[in-house]
């Protein structure tokens, strides 16, 4: 009867949606297994002798990326605030990996706001935004240090987002300027540095960009400012991934979970707490392996991400809230013990 057709159509839509969701789940699990346990490590030999720019390179995951790239014969431009720490990492790399060259650039990304204001004032009315973003410090220093160098790899690693004493990490109790500070050291450097080198990569049909993001970008409870800016990195990466398809340039985001670095008080490693060296190596090993814009390179993080994505959103948010609460309390306890 005609009256049953709308009901049949509704059931067909429900069944079709269930099939699509089931297929997506199967594909995500297959991608996880293939990327971490089946596929060979990504080949970086075509980049040996060329240059990589790594931000946040003075310690933690940034320094680990520098060493991992150097072990593959890639020269490194190290960028961070502390020249002394950068030079120590650079000396260690050149002593360990024969033939690898390094360049150190001391750059404070938080200085960009004041530098930009001075630049705009200097240009005069009607010409405020003349020039390119790297006319302004600290990006000018990076540009000048790489003139004449074949930069083929970018690791946009610099970032920040601190765990504090609960409930101070609740967004409504955060400082009103926290978002601006986080933007200047998370998403903005990735965009400006990518714009500095991507056009030349596309001309040569040769290049790789790694944007370091976070699993927190998917949920973000107790990390609202940090997570929302990392979510911006994810969207930016997905856009460049598609725009550069077939052009010889690869753009992927690496979603990190909990990593033992100075930012997390060098907490002991475990199954779910990865070392900086391991996460850097896994990022290079799995780079591009999934054929998608984003992947969690450390397999336990990726597995946890899959499980939480399969949950109802309300349950996943509740669980992530508990996880971040536990991390905050653990790090706060470590702070108290160190005093």
Alpha helices in the chain (DSSP H): 5-33, 60-70, 83-96, 112-123, 139-146, 178-185, 187-204, 224-243, 276-286, 299-310, 313-338
What the block records as the tokens of 298 is 């450390």
> DSSP per residue over 66-126, as a string?
HHHHHTTT-EEEEEES-HHHHHHHHHHHHHHSTT--EEEEE--GGGHHHHHHHHHHHH-TT
What the block records as the tokens of 274 is 């990865």
Q: What is the pLDDT of residue 289?
A: 85
Per-residue pLDDT for the chain (339 aa), expressed as one digit of tens each?
A: 444 555 566 666 666 666 665 777 788 888 999 999 999 999 999 999 999 999 999 999 999 999 999 999 999 999 999 999 999 999 999 999 999 999 999 999 988 888 877 777 777 656 655 666 667 889 999 999 999 999 999 999 998 764 443 334 677 777 666 778 888 999 999 999 999 999 999 999 999 999 999 999 998 888 888 889 999 999 999 999 999 999 999 999 999 999 999 888 888 999 999 999 999 999 999 999 888 999 999 999 999 999 998 889 999 999 999 988 888 788 777 766 765
Q: Quick count: other Cβ atoms within 10 Å of Cβ 127?
A: 10
| Under 8 Å between Cβ of 274 and 257 | yes
**Cα 189 to Cα 105: distance, rounded to the nearest angstrom:** 14
Furthest-apart CA pair in the chain: how many Å?
Answer: 82
Dump pLDDT digits (tens) for 25-81.
788 888 999 999 999 999 999 999 999 999 999 999 999 999 999 999 999 999 999
**Cα 325 to Cα 331: distance, rounded to the nearest angstrom:** 10
* 322 alpha carbon, distance to own chain's centre: 23
| Under 8 Å between Cβ of 255 and 294 | yes
Closest CA to 214 of 171, 181, 258, 174: 258
Closest CA to 171 of 247, 132, 135, 223: 223
Burial class of residue 37 in the structure, from the number of CB atoms within 10 Å of its CB (0-12 exposed, 13-18 middle, 19+ buried)? exposed
Strands 249-256 and 259-260: unpaired
């Amino acid at each position: 009867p005609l009256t049953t057709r709308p009901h049949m159509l509704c059931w067909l839509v429900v069944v079709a949606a269930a099939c699509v969701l089931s297929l997506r789940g199967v594909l995500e699990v297959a991608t996880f297994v293939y990327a971490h346990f089946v596929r060979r490590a990504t080949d970086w030999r075509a980049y040996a002798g060329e240059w990589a720019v790594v931000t946040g390179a003075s310690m933690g995951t940034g320094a680990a990326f520098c060493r991992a790239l150097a072990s593959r014969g890639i020269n490194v431009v190290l960028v961070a605030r502390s020249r002394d720490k950068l030079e120590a990492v650079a000396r260690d790399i050149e002593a360990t990996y024969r033939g690898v060259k390094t360049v150190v650039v001391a750059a404070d990304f938080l200085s960009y706001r004041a530098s930009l204001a001075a630049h705009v004032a200097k240009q005069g009315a009607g010409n405020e935004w003349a020039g390119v973003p790297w006319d302004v410090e600290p990006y000018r220093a990076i540009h000048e240090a790489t003139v004449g160098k074949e930069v083929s790899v970018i690791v946009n690693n610099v970032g920040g987002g601190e765990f504090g004493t609960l409930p101070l990490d609740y967004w409504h109790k955060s400082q009103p300027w926290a978002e601006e500070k986080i933007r200047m050291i998370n998403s903005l450097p990735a965009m400006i540095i990518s714009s500095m080198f991507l056009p030349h990569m596309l001309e040569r049909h040769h290049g790789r960009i790694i944007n370091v993001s976070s699993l927190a970008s998917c949920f973000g409870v107790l990390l609202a400012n940090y997570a929302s800016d990392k979510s911006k990195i994810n969207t930016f990466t997905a856009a460049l991934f598609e725009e550069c398809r077939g052009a010889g340039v690869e753009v992927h985001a690496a979603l990190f979970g909990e990593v033992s670095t100075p930012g997390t008080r060098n907490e002991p490693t475990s199954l779910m707490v990865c070392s900086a060296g391991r996460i850097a190596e896994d990022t290079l090993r799995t780079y591009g392996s999934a054929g998608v814009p984003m992947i969690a390179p450390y397999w336990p993080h990726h597995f946890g991400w899959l499980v939480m994505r399969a949950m109802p959103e309300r349950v996943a948010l509740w669980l992530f809230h508990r996880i971040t609460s536990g991390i905050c309390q653990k790090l706060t306890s470590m702070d108290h013990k160190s005093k």
